[in-house]
Structures are given as structure tokens and as C-alpha cells.
A and B are shown apart, each in its own frame.
Chain A
């Protein structure tokens, strides 16, 4: 152990130049813009920061975003794990194609997702035009926002759970079956404990992405204050209206939430962290 740390220190000395260069690049690229959000948010003092946060619209936007993020993470935890299970445990024709479909949302621009959802479920859309007379209108309502977020974040859950499942040998499951466990018991007692870490990090990633989703949401939500306006839409609307303080207060909260989520992600999924 001592040897190793000595070696690492030696390498550290040689790494000083590239690390310095990297910091020099990261500083204006990532760190300074983030700092600017916080500096601007608190420029009018903590009083005006809190006042901006306390406005009804800001409170609604934050709560609505959190609810959507929780719902998205919950639904996708189930759907994503199921998709990962099917893709990992079964061999069937078209499997590769299906694996690509599952990961497709990562590659599609979110604005395109919003447009396609509108053209399907919107009141003049392919399916929406039949639902509209029945009084069912998922778009421009919380349901539409949830649909968009489920679509956009779907691959994160699969991406986090499938590699873990792939590594677990099927012999454990077979052993469980041979001693009489049914499929649900096998999943709950054998697989679930093993994929817990993947589930956790997948859910966190999904949550974080949902919290920040903008491109699809702006189209499918109708951007209605106090009804469908999420926190990122609120930030954009307030910034566009020139209310920089209001925009920055919520932006600072979102940024802080993301920091906390990433702190959990790093702490709990890197080797040497508290778990795993």
C-alpha cells in the first residue's frame, strides 16, 4: 500500500502540467459559468433571493418539476428494469434491433421528441384527434410532460441495469428455480439484491435528467404558469422576460439539487465509495 501511494505521488508530479492545463480549460468552460449563476442569484442579497424563490409561480414550478422527476424515475425504474431483464435474459430474433430502439432516445434531439409527441397525441395529432372528442387530452397537461420525460430518459435505466444483469451468471437463477422458487421470488430474492446499485444510479440519472429536461417539455407543456410550467421553463421564461433575479434563484436551486444528486451518484457507485 505504501509503495502504491509513493508511486502515485511520483506520477502526480509528472501529471502537474496536464492537470493544470485541464483545470485551465475547465475553469472558464464549466466552473465559472456555474459560479456566475450563484453570484447573480445572491447579488441582491439573501433577502431578494428568498423572495424570488417564494413567489407562487417559482414554488409551483419547482414542486411540479420534482413530482414529474419522481414519477419519471419511478415508472422508468420498473419499465427500464423490465426492458433490461428481457434484453439480457432472453435470446430472440430482432433482439439487436430492440436494443437499439431502447437506446434511441439518447440520440434523438429532445425538440424532435416534443414535436413527435405533439403530432401523435396532440389535438390534431394522429391518435389525439380520436381522443380529443372523448375529452382525453394528454398534451399541454401534466400527463404530456410525464410522457415526454419517460421517452427522453428511458435509456438511462436500461443503461444502468443491463450491464449489471449481464454480469450475473444465470446459474444463480437456475439454482433458485431448482429449489422451487417461482419467477417473482427469483427476481426479488436473487436478482434484485444484485442489481440494487444499478437501479439506484439509473434512478438518480433519470431523476436528474427529468429535472433539467427542456427541449421536449417546452413543446408538449404549453408552458402554462401554475399548471404545466416546470422549473427549467420557468427559468427560461423569467430570463426572457428580463427578470434575471427570479430566473437565477430557481436556477441556483436546480444546480444545487444536481450537485447533491451527483454527489450521491459518485459516492455510491465508484469503487472505494461507501457501498459496493
Chain B
């Protein structure tokens, strides 16, 4: 009986240690609650947050701490609608911001008043294949060949998956000179080959790394960042035509108390400052600042890039392409 009790007392002491009066920091620091979509985890926690904390402390201000959570953009949006105390959220899709607005969490269109209409950074959608490209995949059309296994995140929860669907459909549309039937056929062909659907882009990459499938459709930032860290074992295939995703920041005013306003406003401005944008570039994102265009030598060239604006923005693309074509036509025909 003595051993278990000693063990419990030891565990309890360890657990409460930071909260004991003599071990505790003099003043609990101010916090910013930040939610982000899956691939932001590294750049925010080891790049952007520390840089801002340093800049903020350099002005002699009381230290600020970040409380953060990262998941698929759709998951984050649903959590915020359910009431998590997020103060800032960087979402993959503007349509997720619109969902927040229609749920009454933020004012409609409030993000468009931010710099660059709320877009913090971007990255094109690419195909990642195994080393040496054994399946000879050179474009989205090759993903529709029979026998290819495609790892894809799930459009229900992942922003990246929505971008991918529009990239696959849009590329088909542009390559066929606007033939909607050909584009839909290409989308169907690719989705017939999908072997794994993960909840987020980051989770899909982990699945691919563990050996599932022959190809992964994902943000260019993912393999670029892996390559920078020397962890990349595959190859990047740049489709001749693909979408440049744009990631939207929302400020959730109703969760920001008067005491937090100044530091949050400063952090929001900081995100578009050149030092912060350089950090995004170093982690493989493409900057929105014109002067940083092409700052990362790793960025690949895309013959025919397009934007969501070419489809009338997410307000049109989401109901027409993702829900209308992908969900109701393609998926319904594949899994009747």
C-alpha cells in the first residue's frame, strides 16, 4: 500500500508543480487565442509567434503568450461556431469565413477590410509522388489513369481538399478550353482512384508518408517545408494548370476584451509586415507582398496558374463546384 501511495503523491506533486505559489510566474502573461488550419502548425508555433513575441517585448511591453490549436479548416470553423474562445483564426477558405459570418460569429465581410482582403499568404496546389516518379505522373490528368492510388484530404473537413477539388476541376476546364463535361470526367477519374481520405491536409500527408497511395494532392508549402528540413523523400510534380490557394484571416471581435485589443491589432498588422511575410516564405508559403514574389528559390513554375476569383470566388465555387459537381454528381456516381 505504501508504494502506490508514494507513487500517487509523486505524480500529484509533478502535476501541480507549475501552479504552486513559489514556482509560479509573478504575473500570468496576456494570451492570444489563435486557431489555424492544419498546415500552419509549424510556421506559426516556431516562426511567427516567437518573432512577434520578440518584437513585442522589444518595445518593453508585458510578455504575450499564444494559445493555439490547429486542425482542418472546416473543423476549426465548426469549433468556432460551437463556441471555442478563438480570437483570431487563419482559415484555408474564404467560404469558411463566410460560414462564420452567417452563423453570426463575425460581421459579414469583416475580413475584407483587412490588408489584402484578409489574405495572409498563398500557395499553389501540386502533386507529390514517390521518389523517381515510378508511376510517371506529370499532371492532374495522370491521376485519373487506372491503377493510380491517390491520397486526398476530405472536403467535408479540410480546406485543402476543397482547393484540390477546384484545382482538379479547374485545370480540366482550362485544358479543354472550357469543356465542362471533360473537366467533370477528369474529376471523376481522379476520385475513382482516391484510396485514403484524411480529415486535414496535414493528416493526408502523414498517411502518404506512411506508404499509402502513389500520389498526394496538396499545398506546395508542405513538400517545400519538408525539403527545407531535409525530410522530403518524394518529388513535387507541378501541374501545367493549377490553383493558387489564398488563406483568410478572421478577427473574432466578440472574444476580444478591451485589454486585449491593442496587442491583437498589433499582431494582425504584424502578419502582413515584411519580417512576418519573410517567415512565411522561409516555411514554403508564397507571400502576398509583391516585393517578395519569388523570394524562395524552391518555388516551382506554373504555366497557367488560376485563382478562386476566376470562378467567381468561393461564394460561387463552393455551391457550384464542390457541392454541385463533386459531391452531388461525382461522388454520387462513384458511391451510389
Contact A124 B82 (CB under 8 A): yes
Is A264 a contact partner of B7 (Cβ separation < 8 A)?
yes
Hey, which chain B residues are within 8 Å of A226, CB to CB? 65, 67
Tell me, yes or no, whether A240 is within 8 Å of chain B by CB: yes
Please tell me which stretch of A145-153, A168-176, A182-190, A217-225 contacts chain B, meaning at least 4 of its Cβ atoms lie within 8 angstroms of it. Answer: A217-225
0/1 per residue, A236-268, Cβ < 8 Å to B? 010111100000000000000100100010001
Quick check: B65 and A122 within 8 Å, CB to CB? no
A268 to B202, CA, bound (A): 45
Closest chain-A Cβ to B3's Cβ sits at a distance in Å of 7
Size of the chain A interface, CB-CB below 8 angstroms: 34
B9-17, B162-170, B179-187: which lies at the interface = B9-17
A interface residues, Cβ below 8 angstroms from B: 62-63, 66-67, 70, 118, 122-124, 128, 132, 137, 139-140, 200, 204, 222-227, 229, 237, 239-242, 257, 260, 264, 268, 274-275
Report the Cα distance A268→B7, complex, angstroms.
14
Whether A224 contacts B12 by the Cβ 8 Å rule is: no
Q: What's the A-B contact tally at a CB cutoff of 8 Å?
A: 79
Query: Bound complex: CA of A222 vs CA of B17, how far in Å?
Result: 24
Q: How far is the CA of A237 from the CA of B75 in the complex (A)?
A: 13
Q: Which residues of B contact A (CB under 8 A)?
A: 1, 3-4, 7, 11-12, 14-18, 33, 38, 41-42, 65, 67-71, 79, 81-85, 200, 202-203, 205-206, 209
Q: Smallest distance from the beta carbon of B63 to chain A beta carbons, Å? A: 14
A137 touches B12 (CB 8 A): no
Cα(A66)–Cα(B14), bound, Å:
9
Say which residue of B41, B84, B209 sits within 8 Å of A224 (CB atoms): B84
B205 and A242 form a contact (CB under 8 A): yes
Pick the residue among A62, A66, A128, A227 that contacts B67 (CB under 8 A).
A227
Whether B68 and A242, one on each chain, are in contact in the complex, defined by CB atoms closer than 8 angstroms, is no
Give which listed residue, A123, A225, A227, A260, contacts B83 with CB less than 8 A: A123
Known: A200-B4, A260-B7, A264-B3. 4 other contacts (CB 8 A): A66-B14, A132-B83, A223-B71, A240-B202
A123 to B83, CA, bound (A): 6
In the complex, the answer to whether B206 meets A66 with C-beta atoms within 8 Å is no
Closest-CB distance, A115 to chain B (whole angstroms): 10
Chain B residues positioned under 8 Å from A237 (CB to CB) = 70
Most B CB within 10 A of own CB, among A122, A132, A139, A241: A241
Closest to A207 in B: B8
Which residues in A have their C-beta under 8 angstroms from that of B1?
268, 274-275
List chain A residues, Cβ under 8 A from B70: 237, 241
Q: How far is the CA of A225 from the CA of B83 in the complex (A)?
A: 17
Q: Which residues of A contact B4 (CB under 8 A)?
A: 200, 204, 264, 268
Where chain B touches its partner, the secondary structure class is: helix
Name the one of A70, A240, A260 contacting B200, with C-beta atoms under 8 angstroms: A240
Q: Is the CB of B83 within 8 A of A140?
A: yes
- B12:A241 contact, CB within 8 angstroms: no
Q: List 29 A-B contacts (CB under 8 A).
A: A62-B15, A63-B14, A63-B16, A63-B18, A67-B16, A118-B82, A122-B83, A128-B83, A137-B85, A140-B84, A200-B4, A222-B69, A223-B71, A224-B67, A224-B68, A224-B69, A224-B84, A226-B65, A226-B67, A240-B38, A240-B202, A240-B203, A240-B206, A241-B38, A241-B202, A241-B206, A242-B206, A260-B7, A264-B4
Chain A residues contacting B68 (CB-CB under 8 Å) are: 224-225
Rounded to whole Å, the gap between the CB of A117 and the closest CB of chain B is 11
Question: Once the chains bind, are A122 and B7 in contact (CB under 8 Å)?
Answer: no
A226 to B18, CA, bound (A): 12
- Shortest C-beta distance, A270 to chain B (Å), equals 14
Distance A275 CA – B2 CA, assembled complex (angstroms): 12
Beta-carbon nearest neighbor of A203 in chain B: B8
Residues of B within 8 A of A222 (CB): 69, 79, 84-85
Q: Which of B15, B202, B205 has the most CB of A within 10 A?
A: B15
| A257 → chain B closest CB, angstroms | 8
Q: Closest Cβ of chain A: how far from B217's Cβ, in Å? A: 17
Q: In angstroms, how far is the closest chain A Cβ from the Cβ of B158?
A: 12
Q: For the complex formed, measure the closest distance between the CB of A13 and the CB atoms of chain B, giving whole angstroms.
A: 36
